[in-house]
Chains A and B, each alone.
Chain A
């Protein structure tokens, strides 16, 4: 079920990207899309009744663990997402500095 929510978020982000021409709104859409993707990744590792994959005195051999790999992957994906968002905001700043607007439609530059 959670995977449907993730896919809806991903598609919502994509829709926002292709319908908005405002740089800041596009960055927000990009983040919504990445959020959807991250939730999808984490949902892959979910196991019903599973516990954190750490062996303790109560959880040992025979316990059901969730898959730890997607958690590691999503951590990396989040870091990369933050990096690209920061870069996107830096570009947004230089667009504003050069053209005095955040609207790509008003920018006199052939895309």
Chain B
């Protein structure tokens, strides 16, 4: 058994699923389940493809970092696909391609191969947005996505012309040997912008409003949780190992991300639509995660990705289901949503409070730890930015929660079936458990990403 099966099996299954459309949804569930089991059994290390050794051939790297990312991606796709099996069953083929693309994206150690997986996952993402029935927004996303990936490829090709390799480990070796960062600013900036489009970083994220702001029970959690987590993981790997921002580029990126945090939360604050509030909150969170990677706080950034993906799955599922049944996502139209759905309401509240970073929830443990790490790095301004953003976040989330809990004269009837409720309860319990018992979180450290270890020790 090899890690290549994590990419090859979903791809093969996607083609088979076209032939047996009736069973496509079940094939998807079986394949994702197979991936999860495979991930539990595979050993760490490089997988050499085609018998060409590094740095000539394409290699895949499975370490603790990529294993965490892959488990999260596959489990979330399994859950979201299962919950939407009836309504969006005909998207099973596309979700299989998504699984292959995102798994490859996290695993690959080759920069051009990374571009190919970026395009595969991008094309499946455009197709998933067609479920929103907003073709102009989908087209807008396609255009920005293609420009982003083209810029990424431009950066990769410039690096190839400079160092003559596409293997990430080999390239880091050669960059370290050349010790001339000024020449790398342009390709790194192109690659960062390219990834920034998919990672929803400001100002490259104008597609998000048309996609997440109009999402449904499938596309919402897929974009806010699965894609966001996968891209955050790979962006983290690039920032930590390849980009290693310094000088003027570090200042530019830090300012962009700090603006992203504040602007995301301010836009969420000024919005009256629940989906938009969650969407802008996602933008702010994506910027915080990138900022943590820029400052070398890898492990807490990883935990933040996981906690954020789980919380956003609950938040988007609850709101999108309510939007489907009520026909509006305006907070004023959803007043009293939780008065008839107490369990769903509690899970939603716990998830929202975890994103805010309130005590007893995992979001608090993560926030306190990454703020401590930033304080150790003397990043006082960044701490101030994050704290100001947290206050704004607190206000708009509490305001939304109060309105969703207290009903007025109108009664809202939204029915969440048992499988939805089970998912909500499990995630809420997980957020609560790791918030009160955080010892397991401290077992891992910043060394989970082994690329630099491979570069230094061979």
Contact = CB atoms under 8 A, between A and B. Distances in A.
A107 B136 contact: yes
B139 A73 contact: no
A104 interface: yes
Contacts of B181: none
A111 B137 contact: yes
A80 B116 contact: yes
Contact of B142 (A73, A80, A88, A109): A88
B119 interface: yes
Contact of B210 (A23, A37, A95, A111): A111
Interface stretch (B44-52, B145-153, B390-398): B145-153
A23 B139 contact: yes
Interface string B187-221: 00000000000000000001001100110000000
B143 interface: yes
Contacts of A73: 112, 157
A33 B150 contact: yes
Interface string A77-95: 1001001100110011011
A17 B147 CA distance: 9
Given A41-B157, A44-B160, A104-B136, A91 B142 contact: yes
A49 interface: no
Contact of B112 (A23, A76, A88, A98): A76
B160 A84 contact: no
Interface string B108-151: 00001000100100010011001000111111101100110010
A87 B126 contact: yes
Interface in A35-90: 37, 40-41, 44, 69-70, 73, 76-77, 80, 83-84, 87-88
Nearest to B144: A17
Interface in A5-41: 10, 14, 17, 23, 26, 30, 33-34, 37, 40-41
B153 A77 contact: yes
A92 B138 CA distance: 10
Nearest to B129: A91
Contacts, number: 85
A111 B209 contact: yes
A69 to B, nearest CB: 8
B161 interface: yes
Contacts of A111: 136-137, 140, 206, 209-210
Interface residues of B, number: 30
A15 B165 CA distance: 31
Which among B139, B153, B160 has the greatest number of chain A C-beta atoms within 10 A?
Answer: B139
A4 to B, nearest CB: 14
Contacts of B34: none
B154 interface: yes
Q: Is the interface of A mostly helix, strand, loop or mixed?
A: helix
A50 B116 CA distance: 28
A110 B137 CA distance: 8
A73 B160 CA distance: 11
B200 to A, nearest CB: 15
A104 B126 CA distance: 17
A77 B153 CA distance: 9
Contacts of B210: 109-111
A33 B146 CA distance: 10
A95 B136 contact: yes
B209 A110 contact: yes
A41 B154 CA distance: 8
B216 to A, nearest CB: 16
Contacts of A107: 136
Nearest to B116: A76
Nearest to B142: A88
A87 B123 contact: yes
Nearest to A72: B112
Nearest to A95: B135
B157 A109 contact: no
Residue among B160, B210, B213 facing the most chain A CB atoms (10 A cut-off): B160
B147 A98 contact: no
A77 B154 CA distance: 11
B142 A44 contact: no
Interface of A: 10, 14, 17, 23, 26, 30, 33-34, 37, 40-41, 44, 69-70, 73, 76-77, 80, 83-84, 87-88, 91-92, 94-95, 98-99, 104, 107, 109-111
Given A84-B119, A99-B136, 11 more contacts: A34-B150, A37-B154, A40-B157, A44-B160, A44-B161, A83-B119, A84-B123, A87-B123, A92-B139, A107-B136, A109-B210
Closest 9 CB pairs of A and B: A94-B135, A91-B139, A109-B136, A107-B136, A95-B135, A44-B161, A80-B119, A111-B210, A111-B140
12 contacts: A34-B146, A37-B150, A40-B154, A87-B123, A87-B126, A88-B139, A91-B138, A104-B140, A110-B137, A110-B214, A111-B206, A111-B209
